[in-house]
């Protein structure tokens, strides 16, 4: 094929390139005057036309006079490929064109290893004044491709060359001779470089942070970004910096970073979520509840509609696809946040608010047809029966026993046909034997089915106790106990009981305590004494069982035993740990109360009389 060097051909290709670029820029500058669909259509057209132009240019042998134009067209063409997520195609065009340019100036093609390849390119082409700018803008483009495909190692290996881009790019114009028309570029190389700098800081910081190198990540993240950087990217840097500080034991400094992130970009929900975790760490429950409310309201807002007009050629999201960043900046679902808010409100004095949040949560799950799937919307949410039980427990705390009874009926009816005749568990717990699937998918968790059904009977018994219907209370406590007796735990010397077995023991202890207290009100003292003693064996640390056991011993005339047990409980300095205990298995906050002042007076008078 003969060399084509006629100026008219070179000018014609330059005009074609500029026409494509100008058409896109005019469309982009019209903003909302055009629809997004029109913008996507034009972008596809520009992509096709730029490739046609490049094929014309590369259809002839590469000569020095064409290199400037070819490298500029390749830059534009690769950007259009980038916009169509054709990253492999863009990288192939880039390296192939640089190899042609090296051949045009009489240099051999280097090996494909990126550091070696680019050192050769910069030495051979970058040293030529007329080619330096268009060569560096392709280096900038290759940087974008590495970043978008998570090849941070290549960026690290060429960091010195990439840092020198600021000086080398100059004003970002391609030098031409005489009065010739300059080939236009789609994106100003300096603008692209500024975007790549801040995205690289974010990607490198996130990767170091995920690998546990918090101090190193902090050093990377504290590099001064461009003041013109997008606000959402600056907010991400503040958020990641806060994560570094939080993980190195500086929660207050982390909170300042999260505030900066929200001041920079009010839509940075990750910073708000991380501030909630810091409040939780610091024990500032009221601030945590307020932040949870705010986060939930923000997450429930309608998502931003895609802006009208032309889509960007290259955007931060396409440059930051890494899993490290996604995991660090992840935010729980609105339903998970609502569940956390409901729990916090119930446990920290805002029971009525917590009840409303629980009811909103259940309504949202039902409206989303989650009930038919057995699992809640988010992995962090408990199973649906547990959510019903938590909601029922909060309703009972809010003095709404009738509503609690209704929710528990739902759990009982759901699990009734799934209850095993007998269940043998070994420590450590072995995998459950699969059973036939059911409509809720609950059959795989046989212990869970027993615990949920038993907890539902327990809550119903608490409701009848609250209503002072002692006969019904005894009946439902007994149903709970009989159900739990179907589970046999065979220990194997395991020191720490599995959570399910600990929940089983806790549930059994509460049911025995509740029945014992109900027997007391039915004047069945011996039955009460038996159940209260068994309760403390099953679940040591149940405060109500201990106090009522003292009272029952006193009423039976066994005052010395009552006094001894009282002294034992009062001298115990170890508070039971309820970490991981479900909301519905906490000591009931309603129902029969004991006059603790009167009991203390009677017992201490007896003790003083005995010692005098």
pLDDT at 437 exceeding the cut of 50: no
Q: Please determine, for residue 132, whether its predicted confidence score (pLDDT) is greater than 90.
A: no
Instruction: Give the C-alpha separation, 357 to 350, whole Å.
Output: 11
Nearest-angstrom CA–CA distance, 234 and 539: 52
Residues in CB range of 80: below 8 A, 6 or more apart: 43, 46, 47, 50, 51, 186, 313
CA gap 148, 322 in Å, rounded: 8
Q: How far is CA 115 from CA 154, 172, 193, in A?
A: 7, 23, 19
DSSP per position, 161-227 = HHHTHHHHHTTSPPP-STTPPPPP-SS-HHHHHHHHHHHHHHHHHHHHHHTT-HHHHHHHHTSPPPT
Reduced to 3 states, what is the DSSP secondary structure of residue 578?
Answer: coil
Report angle CA 45, 11, 144 to the nearest 5 degrees.
50
pTM of this prediction? 0.85
Residue 498 tokens read as 């599995």
Under DSSP, the state recorded for 177 is S
Whole-number average pLDDT of the chain: 85
Bond into 428 cis (ω within 30)? yes
379 contact partners, CB below 8 Å, separation of at least 6 = none
Cβ neighbours of residue 490 closer than 8 Å, sequence gap 6 or more: 424, 425, 426, 427
* Total residues belonging to the chain: 612
* pLDDT (0 to 100) of residue 493: 53
Give the pLDDT band of residue 428 (cuts 50, 70, 90).
low
Evaluate whether 543 touches 587 at the Cβ level (below 8 Å). yes
Q: Determine which helix (DSSP H) or strand (DSSP E) holds 181, and give its type and residue range.
A: none
Q: Considering only CA atoms, which of 443, 449, 475, 444 is closest in space to residue 461?
A: 475
Per-residue pLDDT tens digits for 531-552: 999 999 988 877 788 889 999 9
User: d(Cα 283, Cα 276) in Å, to the nearest integer?
Assistant: 10
Q: What is the mean pLDDT of residues 379-386?
A: 84
SS percent in the chain: helix, strand, coil, step 5: 70, 0, 30
Q: What percent of the chain has pLDDT over 90?
A: 54
Distance CA(36)–CA(191), nearest Å, equals 23
Q: What is the DSSP letter of 373?
A: G
Contacts 24+ apart (CB under 8 A), 569-577: 575/541, 576/540, 576/541, 576/542
Q: Who has greater pLDDT, 303 or 10?
A: 10
More confident residue, 592 or 82: 82
Distance CA 82, CA 64 (A): 27
pLDDT at 140: 94
Q: Is 136 exposed, middle or buried (0-12, 13-18, 19+ CB in 10 A)?
A: buried
pLDDT of 575 reads 56
Question: How do residues 156-165 score in pLDDT, each as one tens digit?
Answer: 999 888 877 7
439 has a pLDDT exceeding 60: no
CA-based nearest residue to 49, from 90, 13, 88: 13
The string of pLDDT tens digits covering residues 570-603 is 776 555 666 667 889 888 766 667 888 888 899 8
What CATH number does the domain located at 195-301+314-329 have?
1.25.40.10
**Per-residue confidence band for 172, with pLDDT thresholds at 50, 70 and 90:** very low
Listed in sequence order, the DSSP H helices in 522-595 are 525-538, 543-555, 559-571
- pLDDT confidence band for 308 (50 / 70 / 90): low
Query: Measured between alpha carbons, how far is 90 from 80 in angstroms, rounded to an integer?
Result: 9
Residue 253 DSSP SS3:
helix
Distance CA 600, CA 612 (A): 18
pLDDT at 250: 95
Per-residue model confidence (pLDDT) at position 441? 44
pLDDT at 375 over 70: no
pLDDT band at 423 (very low <50, low <70, confident <90, very high): confident
Strand partners, 404: none
426, β-bridge pairs: 490
Find, among 185, 137, 151, 141, the residue nearest to 25 by Cα.
185
C-alpha 561 chain-centroid distance: 54
Each domain of the chain, given as residue ranges in start order, spans 9-169+182-187, 195-301+314-329
- Two structure tokens written together for 166: 């600021």
Phi, psi dihedrals of residue 426, rounded to the nearest 5°: -120, 145
pLDDT band at 310 (very low <50, low <70, confident <90, very high): low
Q: Which of 72-86, 113-127, 414-428, 526-540 has the lowest mean pLDDT?
A: 414-428
Q: Three-state SS for 425? A: strand
Residue pLDDT, tens place only, 34-47? 788 888 888 999 99
Beta-bridged to residue 425, according to DSSP, are 489
| Contact (Cβ atoms closer than 8 angstroms) between residue 160 and residue 168 | no
* Per-residue pLDDT at 571: 75
Closest CA to 201 of 226, 181, 179: 226
Residue closest to 280 by CA, chosen among 272, 267, 271, 289: 289
User: Checking phi first, is residue 369 left (phi over 0); if not, alpha (psi -120 to 50) or beta?
Assistant: left
- Other C-beta atoms within 10 Å of 584: how many? 25
């Amino acid at each position: 094929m003969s060399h084509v060097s006629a100026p008219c051909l070179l000018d014609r290709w330059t005009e074609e390139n500029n026409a494509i670029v100008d058409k896109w820029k005019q469309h982009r500058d019209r903003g909302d005057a055009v629809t997004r669909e029109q913008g996507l259509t034009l972008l596809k057209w520009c992509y096709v036309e730029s490739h046609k132009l490049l094929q014309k240019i590369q259809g002839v042998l590469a000569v020095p006079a064409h290199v400037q134009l070819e490298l500029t067209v390749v830059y534009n063409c690769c950007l259009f490929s980038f916009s169509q997520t054709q990253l492999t195609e863009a990288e192939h065009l880039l390296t192939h064109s640089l190899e042609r340019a090296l051949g045009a100036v009489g240099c051999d093609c280097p090996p494909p290893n990126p550091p070696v390849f680019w050192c050769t390119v910069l030495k051979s082409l970058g040293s030529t004044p007329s080619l330096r700018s268009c060569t560096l803008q392709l280096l900038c483009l290759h940087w974008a491709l590495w970043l978008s495909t998570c090849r941070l190692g290549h960026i690290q290996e060429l960091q010195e060359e990439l840092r020198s881009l600021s000086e080398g790019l100059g004003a970002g114009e391609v030098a031409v001779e005489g009065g010739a028309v300059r080939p236009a570029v789609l994106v100003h190389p300096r603008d692209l470089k500024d975007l790549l700098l801040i995205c690289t800081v974010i990607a490198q910081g996130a990767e170091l942070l995920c690998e546990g190198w918090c101090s190193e990540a902090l050093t990377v993240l504290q590099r001064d970004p461009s003041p013109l950087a997008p606000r959402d990217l600056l907010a991400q840097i503040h958020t990641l910096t806060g994560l570094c500080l939080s993980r190195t034991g500086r929660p207050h400094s982390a909170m300042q970073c999260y505030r900066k992130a929200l001041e920079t970009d009010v839509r940075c929900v990750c910073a708000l979520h991380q501030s909630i975790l810091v409040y939780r760490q610091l024990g500032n429950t009221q601030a945590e509840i307020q932040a949870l409310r705010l986060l939930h309201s923000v997450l429930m807002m309608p998502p931003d509609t895609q802006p009208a007009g032309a889509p960007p050629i290259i955007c931060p999201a396409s440059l930051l696809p890494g899993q490290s960043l996604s995991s660090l900046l992840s935010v729980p679902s609105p339903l998970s946040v609502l569940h956390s808010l409901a729990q916090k409100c119930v446990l920290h004095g805002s029971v009525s608010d917590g009840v409303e949040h629980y009811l909103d949560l259940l309504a949202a799950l039902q409206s989303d047809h989650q009930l038919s799937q057995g699992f809640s919307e988010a992995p962090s949410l408990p199973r649906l029966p547990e959510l019903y039980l938590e909601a029922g427990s909060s309703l009972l705390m809010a003095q709404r026993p009738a509503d609690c009874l209704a929710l528990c009926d739902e759990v009982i009816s759901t699990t009734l046909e799934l209850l095993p005749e007998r269940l043998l568990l070994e420590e450590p717990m072995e995998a459950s034997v699969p059973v036939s699937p059911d409509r809720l998918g609950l059959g795989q968790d046989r212990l869970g089915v027993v615990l949920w059904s038993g907890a539902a009977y327990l809550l119903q018994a608490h409701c009848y106790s609250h209503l002072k219907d002692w006969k019904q209370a005894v009946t439902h406590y007994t149903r709970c106990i009989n159900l739990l007796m179907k589970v046999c735990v065979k220990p194997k010397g395991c020191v720490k009981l599995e959570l399910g077995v600990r929940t089983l023991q806790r549930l059994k202890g509460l049911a025995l305590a509740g029945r014992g207290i109900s027997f007391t009100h039915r004047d069945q003292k011996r039955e009460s004494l038996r159940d209260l003693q068994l309760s403390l064996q099953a679940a040591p640390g149940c405060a109500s069982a201990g106090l009522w056991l003292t009272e029952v011993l006193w009423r039976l005339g066994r005052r010395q035993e009552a006094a001894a047990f009282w002294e034992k409980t009062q001298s115990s300095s170890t508070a039971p740990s309820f970490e991981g205990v479900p909301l519905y298995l906490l000591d009931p906050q309603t129902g029969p109360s004991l006059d603790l002042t009167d009991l203390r007076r009677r017992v201490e008078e007896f003790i003083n009389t005995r010692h005098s």
